[in-house]
Amino acid sequence: MMSFMKGRVLVVDDDSALAEMLGIVLRGEGFEPSFVADGDKALAAFRETKPDLVLLDLMLPGRDGIEVCRLIRAESGVPIVMLTAKSDTVDVVVGLESGADDYIVKPFKPKELVARIRARLRRSEEPAPEQLAIGDLVIDVAGHSVKRDGQSIALTPLEFDLLVALARKPWQVFTREVLLEQVWGYRHAADTRLVNVHVQRLRSKVEKDPEKPEIVVTVRGVGYKAGPS
Amino acid sequence: MSGDSAASAPGRSGGRPGRPVGRKVTGSGWGRLFEGGLLEGGVQGSPVIRLFMRWVRRPLLPVMRLWRRNIQLKVVVTTLLMSLGVVLLLGFVVIGQVRNGLLDAKVKASQSQATGGFAVAKQQADEDVSVTGDEDTAPDGSPSQSVIQWMSDLVASLSSGGQGAFDVVTLPAGGESGSGRGPRASGEVNPTVSVPADLRERIDSSTAAAQSYTRVVYNDDKESQPALVIGKQVNDPNGDPYQLYYLFPLTQEEKSLSLVKTTLATAGLFVVVLLGAIAWLVVRQVVTPVRMAAGIAERLSAGRLQERMKVTGEDDIARLGEAFNKMAQNLQLKISQLEDLSRMQRRFVSDVSHELRTPLTTVRMAADVIHEAREDFDPVTARSAELLADQLDRFESLLADLLEISRFDAGAAALEAEPIDLREVVRRVVSGAEPLAERKGTHIRIVGDQQPVVAEADARRVERVLRNLVVNAVEHGEGKDVVVKLAAAGGAVAVAVRDYGVGLKPGEATRVFSRFWRADPARARTTGGTGLGLSIALEDARLHGGWLQAWGEPGGGSQFRLTLPRTADEPLRGSPIPLEPKDSRRNRGLDDAGLPRGGDGEKSATVPVRQPGADGSGRDPFPLPPTAVTPTADPTALPGNGARVVARSGSASGSTRMTPGALGEGPAPLGGGGDDAAARRPAEDAGNPEGTAGSDGTGGYGATRGAERNGEASRGR
């Protein structure tokens, strides 16, 4: 639905030099960046600019990045990529659990950043009409909806992609690396914590009992697969 | 050593299970009484007796355990036993004195009574001499009928004075009995049985009165009684001697004495029981706080630092409690200080990381933008842009490594272990290192990846370790092959990275893990490593509870081995891959011992003999002969790990050879003679675990031992 747009990116970062540099790089790649430096104003700016993607620094004055991420996620499924200086597990996991789709650790290369942004925006291309079933869920790929007994379940685009990837090949066990490549668009292996956190988030939404998953099943020592239909 | 501990284990285990601190006394008191002598005294004798004793002891073992562990029980039982002894002693003394007092009084009264009686008998005899005269005396000297009658009268008259209080008995003097003066007695007393024989003899032999204790036996159904008997030899009217006895039954005294005994026994029993109860109460006052302290100390050591003892009063127990609480408080303070320190350090690292990284990101991006546009610049500026970008890369990796190592130092590194297949990791690492290997002209081979090698590990960290090892091997491999070998056996998995490059000098095998250590300071830093890679790798291995060890020989290449426990909380016992590779010069020296080309030639060779393809002449994709391709479980692996395994099996070559089978691995396809020799090596180690094996003299050996020892030392964490 947004394929005709080149991509509006909202940059939430308090470091003006970095924000400016990001602006230079993003504009160079043909994106339309807008900036906000304060966590408190981030939500208002988000509503105003309606970006296609949010670049969010975790350390912000006012509301911190985690909180901003949660607020944005509460009202929109728009892709959020976190910029973080901390690669510690706790920080990353907290950020991902608050709703970010992907993260990128400072210092990063401009190409890396652009690749991540492109990967997140890529899915806006028109999908073919397709009906999938996984467990007792019915997935309408083109309509971007997941239903259980006619009841629709709200998923973010990333969670939807993850579910579709698993549902398309229910016979296959996906390693975390394969999922990273297919869903996140990483060309070489990256942090598998991304997968773990998002599988958990997905389970909390689609499983009847997230403690005993039936839709997204863990295959010990290998990865995940779709539960039997 | 292991034999000792195995032998002592059952005895110790007896005390361990359960903690019956608060349990009440079970089992019989007899068991406890026996325990001292019967159970603990070693029973010598035939095995049958010993077997019997063991059979007797078994049900008493819980009681013994309780005895050993429960001080309250000990004190109460001891108090009971000791007070019982004291009461018994006291009882005997008191009863003895009472009896003596009673008897003394009785004896005095009886003596005066008897003396009076003897006097009366004598007087009557004297009176009657004149009356009867000689007329009654028979010619044969036997007493006449009148004397017999006189005596009966005498007995009757004497005994009439004390009906029930005493009886009178007359017996003929000496042994004579045939004459008419037979024994007489008052009150149905059996005269001959009631008077003891020794008393009769004494009275026969002297004219004085004598006394003795006896039992009065009655002719009728009356029960016999203890009595005092006093006798004297007196003359009858004819002047012939006879024995006159007074028997004083002691019935009354007996009754009094038994009353005293009963009273004393009752009192004694009460005293003993009360003392036991008092002991129990008193000990409880002391033991309860001690038990509380023990419980709280346990909880403190389990990490609940806010636990404190309840303190009441000012006595010694209260002082114990106060001191205990003070200790706990100081402990808590110190621990929280350390925790604060660690937290501060972690926050500092985190802050530095953030503060440095944000500007670095801007610089990085700016540099990249400039770098992209360098074609438009003049050559000097363009070259500067290249240098800027390159050195920024280096700066970034250095910063990342520094932050990583300080995270380890601050104890902030957390393990995220999950079951992973190491083959996947190895393949990723190898494919990642391919570009570098191509540049260096090195071929990287993976060996032992036919079966899954699964372990609970942090994939990110393991990958980092292996990337480091593989990249190092390629960089120092001088273009020769690099072999990455995987294996799993027992509770461990291992990955060994072998190169045939410059190798390591003796002693370097331990130093390679030091921070910022470089093999050759003079060598140009072409590859731009940070010097922290192996230190971080070592920390990563330790975090897993695993080992990272190095082996190398100068000019013969090196092998780095990462060993991880299969499950995260399992301690490592050995590694499935020997640290020193089979194709090391020392091992091959053993192989080729009989060949004309002696060990010296081998040592100077820079090219492994069993690596025909790796001699620098060309790239043979499969340089090793097929037999050398190891199965997943290396048959020589665990024994090759050296003294540790040898100590476990406890004997030399015979059992070390058994080890692969004992590990439950499949048939071990031993190769040719070389494998045999490799299998022989552990036997040598077994006989000489700390040995230097100087005879073969390879420089690499020292490094091996050093690395092994280093490994041992680093396992502690």
Indicate whether B647 pLDDT > 50. Answer: no
Kindly determine whether residue B357 and residue A24, on different chains, have CB atoms separated by under 8 Å: no
- Phi, psi at residue B222, to the nearest 5°? -60, 140
What pLDDT is recorded for position B237? 76
Residue B490 neighbours by CB under 8 Å, 6+ apart: B573, B574, B576, B638, B663
Question: Using CB atoms and an 8 Å cut-off, which of residues 437-466 of chain B contact chain A?
Answer: 452, 454, 459-460, 463
Q: What is the pLDDT of residues B286-304, one digit of tens each?
A: 888 888 888 888 888 888 8
Which amino acid is it at B212? S
| A192 or A172, greater pLDDT | A172
B62 and B189 share one domain: no
What pLDDT is recorded for position B470? 92
Residue B613 lies in a domain: yes
Name the helix (H) or strand (E) containing A93: helix A89-97
In a mutational test of the A interface, the residue from B349, B350, B352, B358 whose CB has the highest number of chain A CBs within 10 Å is: B358
What pLDDT is recorded for position B717? 34
B482 pLDDT tier (thresholds 50, 70, 90): very high
Q: Report the chain B residue with the minimal C-alpha distance to residue A60.
A: B354
Residues A73 and A90: their CA atoms lie apart, in Å, by 20
B425 and B383 share one domain: no
Highest mean pLDDT among A94-103, A215-224, B240-249, B272-281: B272-281
What pLDDT is recorded for position B684? 38
| B622 or A134, greater pLDDT | A134
Taking CB atoms and an 8 Å cutoff, what residues of chain B touch A189? 428, 463
What pLDDT is recorded for position B419? 85
B615 and B479 share one domain: yes
Kindly determine whether residue B421 and residue A222, on different chains, have CB atoms separated by under 8 Å: yes
Taking CB atoms and an 8 Å cutoff, what residues of chain B touch A25? 365, 369
B380 and B448 share one domain: no
B127 and B46 share one domain: no
Name the helix (H) or strand (E) containing B403: helix B379-409
B307 touches chain A (CB under 8 A): no
Residues B109 and B116: their CA atoms lie apart, in Å, by 11
B418 touches chain A (CB under 8 A): yes
Across A136-144, average pLDDT: 81
Burial readout A11-26 (b: 16 or more C-beta within 10 A, e: otherwise): bbbbbeebbbbbbebb
B332 touches chain A (CB under 8 A): no
CATH number at B506 reads: 3.30.565.10
Kindly determine whether residue A17 and residue B362, on different chains, have CB atoms separated by under 8 Å: yes
Residues B227 and B218: their CA atoms lie apart, in Å, by 12
A222 min Cα distance to partner chain B (Å): 7
What pLDDT is recorded for position B674? 37
Residue B277 lies in a domain: no
Highest mean pLDDT among B58-62, B169-173, B548-552: B548-552
Residues B599 and B603: their CA atoms lie apart, in Å, by 6
Residue A221 has its nearest CB partner, among B361, B421, B463, at B421
Mind listing the domains of chain A with CATH numbers? 8-122 (3.40.50.2300), 131-226 (1.10.10.10)
What pLDDT is recorded for position B561? 93
What secondary structure letter does DSSP report for B220?
S
CATH number at B346 reads: 1.10.287
Residues of chain B with pLDDT > 70, as a percent, come to 70
Residues B210 and B202: their CA atoms lie apart, in Å, by 7
Across B142-154, average pLDDT: 71
Residue B454 has its nearest CB partner, among A90, A106, A221, at A221
Under a CB-based contact definition with an 8 Å cutoff, are residues B48 and B232 in contact? no
B175 pLDDT tier (thresholds 50, 70, 90): low
What pLDDT is recorded for position B671? 36
Q: What is the pLDDT of residues B69-122, one digit of tens each?
A: 888 888 889 989 999 999 999 999 999 999 899 889 888 988 888 888 888 888
pTM to 2 decimal places = 0.51
Indicate whether B346 pLDDT > 80. Answer: no
Q: DSSP 3-state assignment of B550?
A: strand
What pLDDT is recorded for position B519? 65
Q: Report the chain B residue with the minimal C-alpha distance to residue A191.
A: B460
Residue A46 neighbours by CB under 8 Å, 6+ apart: A10, A54, A72, A76
B502 and B594 share one domain: yes
The residue among B378, B409, B440 that closes a domain is: B409
Taking CB atoms and an 8 Å cutoff, what residues of chain A touch B421? 221-222
Residue B96 lies in a domain: no
Indicate whether A152 pLDDT > 70. Answer: yes
Indicate whether B712 pLDDT > 60. Answer: no
Burial readout B488-503 (b: 16 or more C-beta within 10 A, e: otherwise): bbbbbbbbbbbbbbbb
Residue B637 lies in a domain: yes
Residues of chain A with pLDDT > 70, as a percent, come to 90
A120 pLDDT tier (thresholds 50, 70, 90): confident
Indicate whether B351 pLDDT > 60. Answer: yes
Chains A & B: contacts with CB separation below 8 Å: 72
Q: Which of A192-206, B167-181, B309-323, B559-573 has the lowest mean pLDDT?
A: B167-181
The token pair at B425 is 């990791």
In a mutational test of the B interface, the residue from A109, A111, A174, A220 whose CB has the highest number of chain B CBs within 10 Å is: A109
Indicate whether B573 pLDDT > 80. Answer: yes
Q: Report the chain A residue with the minimal C-alpha distance to residue B458.
A: A192
B540 and B664 share one domain: yes
Q: Determine how β-strand B241-249 pairs with β-strand B167-172.
A: antiparallel
Kindly determine whether residue A15 and residue B358, on different chains, have CB atoms separated by under 8 Å: yes
Residues A56 and A110: their CA atoms lie apart, in Å, by 16
> Residues of chain A whose C-beta is under 8 A from some C-beta in B?
15, 17-18, 21-22, 24-25, 28, 59, 83, 85-86, 88-90, 106-111, 175, 177, 188-189, 191-193, 220-222
Q: Report the chain A residue with the minimal C-alpha distance to residue B428.
A: A189
B356 and B435 share one domain: no
Across A143-165, average pLDDT: 84
Across B692-714, average pLDDT: 37
Q: Give the 3-state secondary structure percentages of chain B, helix then strand then coil, rounded to 5.
A: 55, 10, 30
Kindly determine whether residue A88 and residue B412, on different chains, have CB atoms separated by under 8 Å: yes
Taking CB atoms and an 8 Å cutoff, what residues of chain A touch B428? 177, 189
CA atoms within 13 A on the CB side of A57: 25
Q: Determine how β-strand B210-216 pairs with β-strand B167-172.
A: unpaired
Q: Where are the alpha helices (DSSP H) in B514-652?
A: 533-543, 585-591, 599-604, 637-640, 643-649
Under a CB-based contact definition with an 8 Å cutoff, are residues B544 and B565 in contact? yes
Under a CB-based contact definition with an 8 Å cutoff, are residues B690 and B645 in contact? no
Residue B4 lies in a domain: no
What pLDDT is recorded for position B587? 78
What pLDDT is recorded for position B494? 92
Residues A13 and B483: their CA atoms lie apart, in Å, by 47
The token pair at A217 is 């099943």
The residue among B365, B387, B409 that closes a domain is: B409
Q: Average pLDDT over chain A, rounded to whole?
A: 83
Q: What does the DSSP assignment read for A207-218? A: -SSTTS-SSEEE
B470 and B602 share one domain: yes
Across B44-49, average pLDDT: 72
Tell me which residue range forms the domain holding B42.
Answer: 14-69
Q: DSSP 3-state assignment of B357?
A: helix
Q: Average pLDDT over chain B, rounded to whole?
A: 72
B174 pLDDT tier (thresholds 50, 70, 90): low
Residue A18 has its nearest CB partner, among B358, B412, B428, at B358
Q: What is the pLDDT of residues B179-189, one digit of tens each?
A: 556 777 777 78
Kindly determine whether residue B365 and residue A88, on different chains, have CB atoms separated by under 8 Å: no
Kindly determine whether residue A106 and residue B454, on different chains, have CB atoms separated by under 8 Å: no
Residues B245 and B233: their CA atoms lie apart, in Å, by 9
Residues of chain A with pLDDT > 90, as a percent, come to 13
Residue B290 lies in a domain: no
Please choose, from the candidates A182, A41, A47, A30, the residue with its C-alpha nearest in 3D space to the C-alpha of residue A117.
A30
Give the 3-state secondary structure of B575-599.
Answer: CCCCCCCCCCHHHHHHHHHHCCCCH
Q: Which long-range contacts (CB under 8 A, 24 or more apart) does B256-262 make?
A: B256/B98, B256/B102, B257/B95, B257/B98, B257/B99, B257/B102, B260/B94, B260/B95, B260/B98, B261/B91, B261/B95
Name the helix (H) or strand (E) containing B427: helix B422-440
Residues A32 and A35: their CA atoms lie apart, in Å, by 10
Kindly determine whether residue A107 and residue B424, on different chains, have CB atoms separated by under 8 Å: no
Kindly determine whether residue A189 and residue B428, on different chains, have CB atoms separated by under 8 Å: yes
In a mutational test of the A interface, the residue from B356, B365, B401, B461 whose CB has the highest number of chain A CBs within 10 Å is: B365
Residue B305 lies in a domain: no
Q: Distances in Å between the alpha carbon of B226 and those of A81, A130, B103, B213, B263? A: 115, 121, 12, 7, 22
Kindly determine whether residue A25 and residue B369, on different chains, have CB atoms separated by under 8 Å: yes
Give chain B's end-to-end CA distance (angstroms, integer): 23
B347 and B387 share one domain: yes
Q: What does the DSSP assignment read for B43-56? A: --S-HHHHHHHHHH
Residue B304 lies in a domain: no
Q: How long, in residues, is chain B?
A: 717
Kindly determine whether residue A86 and residue B354, on different chains, have CB atoms separated by under 8 Å: yes
Kindly determine whether residue B365 and residue A25, on different chains, have CB atoms separated by under 8 Å: yes
Q: Give me the number of domains chain B comprises.
A: 4
Please choose, from the candidates B256, B229, B206, B252, the residue with its C-alpha nearest in 3D space to the C-alpha of residue B113.
B229
Taking CB atoms and an 8 Å cutoff, what residues of chain A touch B412? 88
Highest mean pLDDT among A3-12, A15-24, B526-535: A15-24
Q: Distances in Å between the alpha carbon of B507 and those of B297, B511, B519, B551? A: 45, 7, 11, 10
Residue A106 has its nearest CB partner, among B361, B416, B460, at B361
The token pair at B148 is 């017999």
Under a CB-based contact definition with an 8 Å cutoff, are residues B159 and B168 in contact? yes
B371 touches chain A (CB under 8 A): no
The token pair at A197 is 């956190």
Residue A9 neighbours by CB under 8 Å, 6+ apart: A26, A31, A32, A33, A34, A51, A52, A53, A54, A55, A117
Which amino acid is it at B712? E
B559 and B631 share one domain: yes
Residue B543 neighbours by CB under 8 Å, 6+ apart: B408, B413, B415, B458, B461
B630 pLDDT tier (thresholds 50, 70, 90): very low
| B65 or B529, greater pLDDT | B65
A33 pLDDT tier (thresholds 50, 70, 90): very high
Highest mean pLDDT among A148-152, B136-140, B227-231, B699-703: B227-231
Q: Which of A61-70, B262-271, B466-475, B635-644 has the lowest mean pLDDT?
A: B635-644
Residues B341 and B491: their CA atoms lie apart, in Å, by 36
B487 and B525 share one domain: yes
State whether ipTM is beyond 0.85. Answer: no
The token pair at B639 is 């024994």
Strands (E), A52-192: 53-57, 80-84, 102-105, 131-134, 137-140, 145-148, 151-153, 174-175
Determine the Cα angle at B538 with ends B532 and B543, to 5°.
Answer: 125
